[in-house]
Copies of this chain bind each other. A is one copy, B any other.
């Protein structure tokens, strides 16, 4: 109940008025890479935490929630995904979840920051679990826009696992209409895309709404969803965009059956019941998403508090 409070803290600010304090016991990495500020710390509540540009990316205690949420619904939304592109995702855990799908024959990961990949390989081995060494994997260290412009590969699923669009950060041009159009151009006939879209907390819905509307300006179907990653301290928004499939139609039983058929090992977070929870977005959030008029463009980027 009243164990002594720790003295060493990592403090993350979501806004000028909101901070999250994480008691820490170790600082494993604290560097400025070519692209961003990177910290890996050991926290008392959430284990090892990866933090980029002062934003919590994932923690060893609850990263399974984030990564299963980002990967499995979008994978099930495609009838039989063989080729997958992961944009970002330097920790390797998104790749890890993708590779659990038996249908996958090729998984390309494009992350701009090879220092992040290297440090995660070293300090977070339980996150990638050998995903980088799977023979289906290919890791490319370059800017995702450059990659998409130059490649002629076509993917069944694209997963953009990006840090938040902070000013001068590496990711903000990967949240624009132009970028989603490029992604759309590399998707196969039943292609689907997923992403995290910032917090779903009521005072801070601007970003989630704008990403939703921006996807809407490009894709025929956009299904927003949300979950709770405790280490983030706020509910978190996601979205699946697709050419023709809508995961909101799936019954619990359908999801449970597809997991059984397609995924090679037991999941911790996701199943049919969880699926209904993810897409059961509260009324006020759905209303805000629909009411937004903002479309993010290269010339009108959106930044989150930093």
**Interface residue ranges, A against B (CB under 8 Å):** 1-13, 15-27, 30, 39, 41, 43-46, 51, 54, 61-62, 64-65, 166-167, 199-204, 226-228, 230, 233-235, 267-271, 273-284, 286, 303-306
Name the residue of chain B whose CB is nearest to the CB of A248.
B273
Closest 7 CB pairs of A and B: A277-B280, A17-B44, A17-B23, A19-B21, A201-B230, A228-B235, A276-B280
A6 to B277, CA, bound (A): 35
In the complex, 28 of the A-B residue pairs with CB atoms within 8 angstroms, ordered by the A residue number, are: A2-B167, A3-B16, A5-B16, A7-B12, A8-B8, A8-B27, A8-B41, A9-B11, A9-B19, A17-B22, A17-B44, A20-B21, A65-B284, A200-B228, A201-B228, A230-B234, A233-B233, A268-B284, A269-B284, A270-B282, A270-B283, A273-B279, A273-B286, A274-B280, A274-B282, A276-B276, A277-B278, A278-B280
Partner of A45, one of B2, B18, B25: B18
**Residues A16 and B20 in contact, CB atoms below 8 Å apart:** no
B283 touches A280 (CB 8 A): no
Measured CA separation A270–B65 after assembly (Å): 24
Do A233 and B304 form a contact, CB below 8 Å, given A275-B280, A280-B273?
Answer: no
B2 x A17 contact (CB < 8 A): no
| A269 CA / B268 CA spacing, docked (Å) | 28
With A1-B167, A27-B24, A61-B202 as known contacts, state yes or no: A268 contacts B280, CB within 8 Å.
no
Is the beta-carbon distance between A274 and B269 smaller than 8 angstroms?
no
Please report the C-alpha to C-alpha distance between residue A61 and residue B51 in the assembled complex, in whole angstroms.
28
Is B305 within 8 A of A3, CB to CB? yes
Does B269 contact A282, Cβ atoms closer than 8 Å? yes
Q: Which residues of B contact A24 (CB under 8 A)?
A: 8, 27
**Contact between chains at B271 and A283 (CB < 8 Å):** yes
| Contact between chains at A273 and B283 (CB < 8 Å) | yes
Residues of B within 8 A of A199 (CB): 230
**Distance in angstroms between the alpha carbons of A274 and B166 in the assembled complex:** 31
Known: A17-B44, A23-B17, A277-B277. A1 touches B304 (CB 8 A): yes
Contact A279 B277 (CB under 8 A): yes
Q: A16-B23, A277-B280 are in contact. List 6 more A-B contacts (CB 8 A).
A: A1-B306, A2-B305, A17-B45, A18-B21, A228-B228, A276-B280
* Bound Cα distance from A4 to B17, whole angstroms: 9
